[in-house]
Amino acid sequence: MSERHYIVFEGAIGAGKTTLATIFAERLDGRLVEEKFEENPFLIDFYRDPRRYAFQTELFFLLSRYRQQTEQFAQPDLFQRFVFSDYHFVKNRIFAHLTLDEREYQLYDMVANRLEKDILPPDLMVYLQSTPERLMKNIRKRDRSFERNMNLAYIVSLVEAYNQFFFHYDASPLLIVNSTAVDFAGSEAKLDELMEYVLNAPNGTSYYNPAPEEIGR
């Protein structure tokens, strides 16, 4: 078993972060820190008109995630060995780079630089890497109303932004998981295998590329 306490699942929209963080928390009797994206009052408007509502959307996410992160980790939990989260504060930068224009990002950056100093880094970052096509399939399957108009071009840009970010990431140990061809939640064997990789990931950057299996249709 790993001695790491705080483990984060990250990835683009539809990667399966919440599903896996929840399963890990349940299996290992850990605490779940779950992003409250539905509390953002600008999100629905953003998907309808990204250019108009990008700054409001990103600023609200930045401040709300900061509040949640600082409240969740203000006091250590002595009774739970693990904390699992379906996001980390770093995602603010990824989305802001993608959605904001230069002037907006400069203003956003001034606020983000101050807030990031108070954020606890994870003991392990798990990046769920997938193709845009698989992500779109997952998005359609879960059928959230505000995501129904999401287009492939946006997901392609988001995947590129995530890949670029994690190519340079060195703030904590990083496990990159190829989740394109495996439904971890639907396969006990694959889930057990993933858990072994997560709990025993080495320092630095490591990779888990599971053998593909047929995905439910």
Cα 97 from Cα 115, distance rounded (Å): 17
Cβ burial of 87 (10 Å; 0-12, 13-18, 19+) is buried
pLDDT tens string for the chain (217 positions)? 447 899 999 999 999 999 999 999 999 999 999 999 889 999 999 999 999 999 999 999 999 999 999 988 876 665 678 999 999 999 999 999 999 999 999 999 999 999 999 998 999 999 999 999 999 999 999 988 888 888 899 999 999 999 999 999 999 999 999 999 888 988 899 999 999 999 999 999 999 998 876 444 3
Cβ–Cβ < 8 Å for 96, 108: yes
Whole-model pTM? 0.90
Domain spans, the chain = 6-208
On whether the CB atoms of residues 175 and 127 are closer than 8 A, the answer is: yes
**195 close to 27: Cβ distance less than 8 angstroms:** yes
Compute the distance between CA of residue 10 and CA of residue 17 in angstroms, rounded to an integer: 6
Half-sphere exposure at residue 150, Cβ-oriented, CA atoms within 13 angstroms: 25
Q: Which fold has domain 6-208?
A: Rossmann fold (3.40.50)
